[in-house]
Amino acid sequence: MALIVQKYGGTSVATIDHIRRVAMGIATTKINGNKVAVVVSAMGGETDRLLNLVSQITNYPSYREQDALVATGEQVCSALMAITLESLGHKAISMLGLQLPLITDDIHTKARIMELKTEKIKQYLNDGIIPVVAGFQGVTSEGRISTLGRGGSDTTAVALAAALQADYCEIFTDVDGVYTADPNICPKARHLEKISYQEMLELAGLGAKVLHSRSVELAQKYQVPLVVKSSFGGDNHTWIVNEEEVMENSIIKGVTLERNVSKISLIRVPDRPGIAHKILSPLADAAINVDMIIQNASIDGYTDFTFTVPTTDLAKAKELVSQVAKEIDAQEMLAANNIVKVSAVGIGIKTNPGVASRMFKSLSGENINIEMISTSEYRISCVIEEKYGELAVRAVHKAFELENGSQEVEKQ
C-alpha cells in the first residue's frame, strides 16, 4: 500500500465531466489498495473570472479581501470533487486550507507556508476517507484567508506530500510531462522521462508552465519524489529526481520563454554606496521579485541602473521606484513591458565552456538583439524584444540539437 498525493490543475477539472473523469481515476487509485489524498485547483478560468470582477471595481484592491474572494474557486472545486467521489461509492471529504490548517505568513496574494498540520487528514486517511484539499490557499496566524500565488496548488500538494511523508506526489495537468521546449512554440520539442530538481526549478522559474517553482523547491528540500502526468491519459510522464538519477547527460535540458517580464531603468543615478539598497528595498518590502540587474560603469560619478520585475507587479513597482528616484535625484525613470526572457537550462552549463557563445550565436543568426544577460551554473537568460520571443526559442532549441538529444559544444 502506497500513500500518494495527487494534484489536479484547473484544466483537469474545468467542467463537471472533467471532474467526473478525474474522480474515477482517483477511485481507481484507491481501489488498487493505496491511500490517496487529493489537492485541486479552481475550475479552469475561475480565478481569472474572479480577478476580473475585482478589476471592474478598482486597480488597487485590498489584497486581504482579494484573497478571500479568489480562494472560493478552490473551495467550490474541492466540494464538487468530494461530492462526485461519494456518488461513485467512495467516502470523501473536502478540506479548506484553514481546516487542515495550512498556516502561512501574512503576505497576501503571495503567502509562504509556515506550518502544515496533518492530524485531521491522517485520521481521514486511516479511516479510508479520501480527503480533497483546496489548493492555493491557507490561513494566517491571525485567522485571515491567504493565497500562495499563481501555481500555488502545486505548492500545496508538495507541502502536503512532505508533511505526510507520502511515497510520491503526482501532478496531473493538461500536458504529459516536461518537454525540451513548449511544443506549441517549438513543434520539434522532445519529451523528457527524467529531469533533475535543479533543472526543473530553473525551468519553472523561467516560464515553463508545467510546475510552479516553489513546489519544486519544496520537493527538492524534502526529497519528495515528483511525477508529472496528463489527466487525459497516455503513457508519457516525467519524473523530477536528484541530479545523480538523471541518466541522460545532455548539456542543455530545455529552453523557456517567459512573457511576464518588464524592466525599469533609472538614468543618471548617483554612484555611491547604498544606492542599490535604497532603490530595491521598497520592492522587497512589497514582495516584488527583482530578477536581472544591470548597473553601467560609472561616468562622472553617475551610472544607469536597470532591473526586471514581473509585468503583473510593474504598476506597483513604478510607483515605488518613482518615489525613490526623486529622493536620490535620478535624472529619469523609464519602464518597458514589450520584452520577454529566453533561457537555456541544463546541468551541463557549469562544466561545458562555449554554451553561452553558442546561444548568442543562434540569436545573432536571426538578427535578434540582446538587451540584458544573466547567467548561473544552470541557466543562461537573455532579455529580448517581445516580437522575437518564439523565434528565439526555436533558434536556441535548434542550436543545441534538443530535438534529438545530441549536443556538442563548439570550442572557443
CATH no. for residue 291?
3.30.2130.10
Together in a domain, 167 and 274: no
Same domain, residue pair 147 and 292? no
How many angstroms separate the CA atoms of 291 and 382, rounded? 12
Confidence category of residue 249, pLDDT binned at 50, 70, 90: low
- The pLDDT of 2-25, averaged and rounded, is 97
Answer yes or no: is 195 within a domain: no
Q: How many domains does the chain have?
A: 2
Q: If you count DSSP H runs as helices and E runs as strands, how many of each does the chain have, helices first?
A: 12, 22
Residue 315 located in a structural domain: yes
Mean pLDDT, the chain, rounded, equals: 93
Residues 146 and 278 grouped into a single domain: no
User: Is the domain of 146 the same as that of 272?
Assistant: no
Could you report the per-residue pLDDT of 271-324, keeping only the tens digit for each?
A: 999 999 999 999 999 989 998 999 988 889 999 999 999 999 999 999 999 999
Packed helices 72-87 and 16-31: angle between N→C axes, nearest 10 degrees = 60
- Is 208 in contact with 178 (CB distance < 8 Å)? yes
In this structure, the answer to whether residues 21 and 153 fall within a common structural domain is yes
Query: 71-130, pLDDT tens digit by residue?
Result: 999 999 999 999 999 999 999 999 999 999 999 999 999 999 999 999 999 999 999 999
Helix, strand or coil, per DSSP, at residue 314: helix
Residue 80 lies inside a defined structural domain of this protein: yes
> Which CATH number characterizes residue 85's domain?
3.40.1160.10
CB-hemisphere CA count at 13 Å for 147?
24
Local confidence band at 248 (pLDDT 50, 70, 90 cut-offs): low
pLDDT beyond 50 at 390: yes
Distance of CA 284 to the CA centre of its chain: 19
Domain boundary at 174, 203, 237, which? 174
pTM of the model: 0.83
Query: What pLDDT, on the 0 to 100 scale, is given for residue 412?
Result: 37
Last residue in a domain, options 320, 336, 352: 336
Query: Is residue 34 one of the residues assigned to a domain?
Result: yes
Residue 190 in domain: no
* pLDDT tens digits along 23-37: 999 999 999 999 999
| Residue 382 counted as domain residue | no
Residue 317's domain spans which residues? 262-336
Distance CA 370, CA 360 (A): 8
Distances (CA, A) of 274 to 155, 269, 277: 35, 12, 5
Do 266 and 164 sit in the same domain of this protein? no
Give the pLDDT confidence of 155-188 residue by residue, as tens digits: 999 999 999 999 999 999 988 999 999 999 999 9
Asked if residue 342 lies in contact with residue 308, where contact means CB atoms within 8 angstroms, the answer is no
Q: Are residues 266 and 138 in the same domain?
A: no
The cell numbers describing 91, all together, are 467516502
Classify residue 232: in a domain, yes or no: no
